[in-house]
Structure 1
Amino acid sequence: YMSIIVPMVLVNVMGAIANLETAAAVGDKYDPLACVFGAVPWLIGTIPIASGVGFLLWIGMVITSSSFERKAHDSNHGTAVVLGMIPALAAWAFQLVQTTLHAVNTNSNMTAALDSLAAAGLNPQGMIALSQGYLLTAIVLASTMVHIIERDFIYAAAWMAVASMLSATGIIHAYRVVGNAIEPALGFFPTQVSHQFAIVYAGMALMLAAFHLGEEEYKYTWSHVLKMVTWSKQRLPRHAPAAASIDEHTPLLLRSQSTLFEMEK
């Protein structure tokens, strides 16, 4: 159950922080200490759940829209938000498909149903793979995209390495079809799907690490070029302006003498 416990804890902590920041951004500052006294069950028992759905929907829209807002000095992380939503959408879509299959035919075989869906042009294997540990997958993919946008390729490579290890151990993407149920598969390369995802993530980690080395080399080269140009300008001889010759001062002397002669008159 660790593949469920760890992501849920991370999502709850990050969600609480995001809620506080979103409220503070619109001028509503809440004290987190007010939420640790066990009053939430009383509120749930007093206020009907249906009446709070609208507030939850509004909070979700505000949090999502704030992720796409971009200030003058900040980068736009909307791409990372969209990428992080893909595993959750895949899990939701497969849940709808699975519920529909059980509702239409309770005795249907899941393997045969998946083969029929694949023959019809739907790719249920991809949805299932993304739905397994989708919270961790969303965190890893979104974090990777954030670092790519910020051009911190070494951190993005580290996240891809983490994704490769998670996939290799079956924490994400790995699954087995047991009867009419989809069960997670743990172990070292437990299924072919985990093997494929681990290789892809490892390749992405190597590619991003190469990008980091290339960008560092680029910065290193240009910084030294600028230093050489600055050093060469400082080493250039600075010639003092030559003294003015008598011929250059002659018109000025003649004008001053004529002015004095007119003043004496």
Structure 2
Amino acid sequence: YMSIIVPMVLVNVMGAIANLETAAAVGDKYDPLACVFGAVPWLLGTIPIASGVGFLLWIGMVITSSSFERKAHDSNHGTAVVLGMIPALAAWAFQLVQTTLHAVNTNSNMTAALDSLAAAGLNPQGMIALSQGYLLTAIVLASTMVHIIERDFIYAAAWMGVASILSATGIIHAYRVVGNAIEPALGFFPTEVSHQFAIVYAGMALMLAAFHLGEEEYKYTWSHVLKMVTWSKQRLPRHTPAAASIDEDTPLLLRSQSTLLEMEK
């Protein structure tokens, strides 16, 4: 259960920090010291859970909408938020499918049910793979997209490398069908699906690393060209037109130009 426990702890800590920052961004600053006096358990015991669900739903909508606004942050990371929600939506969808299968036919074997869904055009393999360790998958995918948006390709490549390792060891995307249940499969390349995901993540890591090297090479080449142009301008001699003979019959405009040339010298 480590693939669930560790992400849950991370999500709780990061979620609490995100809640504080979001509230402070809109002017509702919360003092964390209020939690030290034990008021939260008292509130939980006083307020019915049913009445608090509406507030939690509203808070969730506000936090989600703030991710698509530039008021709370400088960059638009809405794409990363959407990408991070996909594994959670896949887990929720598979839970609905699994509950429906058990309710319709309690004696049906899970393998036969999945084969029937695949024959009907609904291939559940990807949905099940994304649902395994979906919290870690959401963190990795969202973090990768954030660094891609910020053009920090080397950090995005590192996150894809982490995803490849997690998939290769079965922490994410690996599962086995045991009776009527879907169980996680740990080990080095435990299933074919985890093997495929690990290869894809490794390929993405290499591609993002190539993007990083290409961008650094472009920056170096462009800066080198600018330096060469500046150096050539400094080395070129400045040609000034020869001063014409000035006398009383010379027009006033030519006299002023000659005076300016003398002042520059």
TM-score, shorter chain, exceeding 0.5: yes
Please report how far the alpha carbon of residue 42 of structure 1 lies from its aligned counterpart in structure 2 after TM superposition: 1.6
Please report how far the alpha carbon of residue 40 of structure 1 lies from its aligned counterpart in structure 2 after TM superposition: 2.0
Q: Distance in 1 between matches of 2:89 and 2:119?
A: 22
Q: Distance in 2 between matches of 1:173 and 1:264?
A: 75
Structure having the higher Rg: 1
CA contact (8 A) 2:174 2:194 kept: yes
User: Relative to 1, partners in 2 of residues 1:104 and 1:252: Cα closer, same or farther, differing over 3 Å?
Assistant: closer
Which deviates further from its counterpart, 89-98 or 75-84? 75-84
Over residues 25-62 of structure 1, what are the superposed CA-to-partner deviations in whole Å (9 max), with x where a residue is unaligned?
11110011212333322211100111112211111111
2:247 alignment partner, SS class: helix
2:73 alignment partner, SS class: coil
Q: Distance in 2 between matches of 1:262 and 1:50?
A: 90
In structure 2, the residue matched to 1:101 is 101
Over residues 218-248 of structure 1, what are the superposed CA-to-partner deviations in whole Å (9 max), with x where a residue is unaligned?
1110010011111111122234564452237
Query: How many residues get paired?
Result: 265
User: Relative to 1, partners in 2 of residues 1:241 and 1:65: Cα closer, same or farther, differing over 3 Å?
Assistant: same
User: Relative to 1, partners in 2 of residues 1:244 and 1:185: Cα closer, same or farther, differing over 3 Å?
Assistant: same
CA contact (8 A) 2:169 2:186 kept: yes
In structure 1, the residue matched to 2:153 is 153
User: Relative to 1, partners in 2 of residues 1:243 and 1:206: Cα closer, same or farther, differing over 3 Å?
Assistant: same
Q: Distance in 1 between matches of 2:167 and 2:222?
A: 39
Q: Distance in 2 between matches of 1:157 and 1:211?
A: 9
Work out the percentage of aligned pairs sharing the same amino acid.
Answer: 97
- Give the 5 Å matches for 1:1-265: 1-70=1-70, 74-239=74-239, 242-243=242-243, 245-247=245-247, 250=250
Q: Distance in 1 between matches of 2:257 and 2:190?
A: 106
Unpaired runs of 5+ residues, structure 1, are none
TM-score normalized with structure 1 length? 0.90
2:183 alignment partner, SS class: strand
Give the RMSD, CA atoms, in angstroms.
5.7
User: Relative to 1, partners in 2 of residues 1:94 and 1:254: Cα closer, same or farther, differing over 3 Å?
Assistant: closer
Please report how far the alpha carbon of residue 84 of structure 1 lies from its aligned counterpart in structure 2 after TM superposition: 0.4
